Amino acid sequence: MDIGGTKISCVVGTRDGQILKRDVMPTEVEKAPEDTMKKAIEKIRELLKSSRVELSDVEGMGVGAPGPLDPISGTILDTPNMPGWNGVCFKEILGKEFDLPIIVDNDGNAAALGEKKFGAGKEVNDLFYFTVSTGIGGGLIIDGKIYHGASFDAAEVGHMTILPDGPRCRCGKLGCLEAFSSGTSIARRVKEKVRGNPDSLILKLAGDKIEAITAEVVAEAASKGDGLAREVWEEAARFLGIGVANVLNLINPQMVIIGGGVAKAGELLFKPVRESAAREAFGRTFESCKIVPSALGDMVGDFGSISLVL
């Protein structure tokens, strides 16, 4: 299961990464988590049935969910985008229904492991995964395994301070990477600046509705040469590159993988990110690291959940 703030993806897959069945349902965060989980359990039973897999043949169940999260007890802690889910214990809820090993981890870690087992990182042992979408998260793989850290909060890369006294992040701190380079921040920064510029291409691409401006719209306008879009996009990419460089300087991984909605912009993002990282990384850490897009794309959460069981 890949549990997110808007949808839950359930998948039946094999050890070698074949997806037998997959289905997606809404999370409906406004409702009680118990009701959603009940529906999810039904969904899993359906998928097992339709893929003709007996429960006795299932090795385990992997669950990726937004952090912070305690992977030992399998409990969601205080996740900003899933209010009401604080304290929900997946191991307990799912363990009552399925007599299986249930492995729970935060979605950034699961995605990082998914890329290691099935995606861009198959050939390396040490990698750092960035997800750049609504927010910015990450996962650190050391020696082929998720590195959790003392309080299971390693790889909280979105809240690394990139510009002291910079703009306020939704976490409350100032100058976090997420406040510059997440999809939400890219859109917000453009919305703030576009008001004085009613003829902007960005507005046109957004159907003349400021509230319809997304990072995707900004990327499109930037690729068509719009000045404001380029300015905000390039700043976001530059700061993301500084974040990558700080990872390189501290951890010196073999590979940095960038996924999430914003990474779909491809070279429009990766070129300035690599340039910025090359400028800011120390010595040989840049040359010894491949900075590549996610190979699993929208399926990274599904493969991530599967990889937790392996």
Phi, psi of 38 (to 5 degrees): -60, -45
Q: Counting contacts by CB under 8 A, is residue 288 touching its own copies?
A: yes
183 Cβ neighbours under 8 A, 6+ residues apart = 132, 133, 134, 214, 215, 216, 260, 261, 262
Which of 186, 180, 192 is closest to 214 using CA atoms?
186
- Based on its alpha-carbon atoms, the radius of gyration of the chain, rounded to whole angstroms, reads 20
Considering only 91, 116, 148, 264, the residue that binds its own copies (CB under 8 A) is 148
Considering only 39, 173, 188, 230, the residue that binds its own copies (CB under 8 A) is 173
Total number of residues that touch its own copies (CB under 8 A): 44
- The helix (run of H) or strand (run of E) holding residue 22 is strand 19-26
In terms of CB distance, is 13 or 138 closer to its own copies?
A: 138
Q: How far apart are CA 269 and CA 132, in angstroms?
A: 11
| 3-state SS class at 224 | coil
Contact string (CB under 8 A) for its own copies, positions 1-40, x = contact: ----------------------------------------
Q: Counting contacts by CB under 8 A, is residue 266 touching its own copies?
A: no
Contact string (CB under 8 A) for its own copies, positions 203-242, x = contact: -----------------------------------xx--x
CB of 173 to its own copies, least distance (A): 7
Which of 197, 181, 198 is closest to 189 using CA atoms?
181
Q: For its own copies, which stretch binds (CB under 8 A), given 107-115, 142-150, 199-207, 223-231?
A: 142-150
Q: Counting contacts by CB under 8 A, is residue 280 touching its own copies?
A: yes
CB of 106 to its own copies, least distance (A): 12
Q: How far is CA 2 from CA 8, 24, 36, 108, 139, in A?
A: 6, 9, 13, 11, 15
Which of 215, 266, 210, 14 is closest to 118 using CA atoms?
14
Q: Counting contacts by CB under 8 A, is residue 72 touching its own copies?
A: no
Considering only 204, 266, 279, 297, the residue that binds its own copies (CB under 8 A) is 279
Q: Counting contacts by CB under 8 A, is residue 112 touching its own copies?
A: no
Residues that bind its own copies (CB under 8 A): 68, 126, 140, 142, 147-157, 159-164, 171, 173, 238-239, 242, 245-247, 249-254, 279-280, 282-285, 287-289
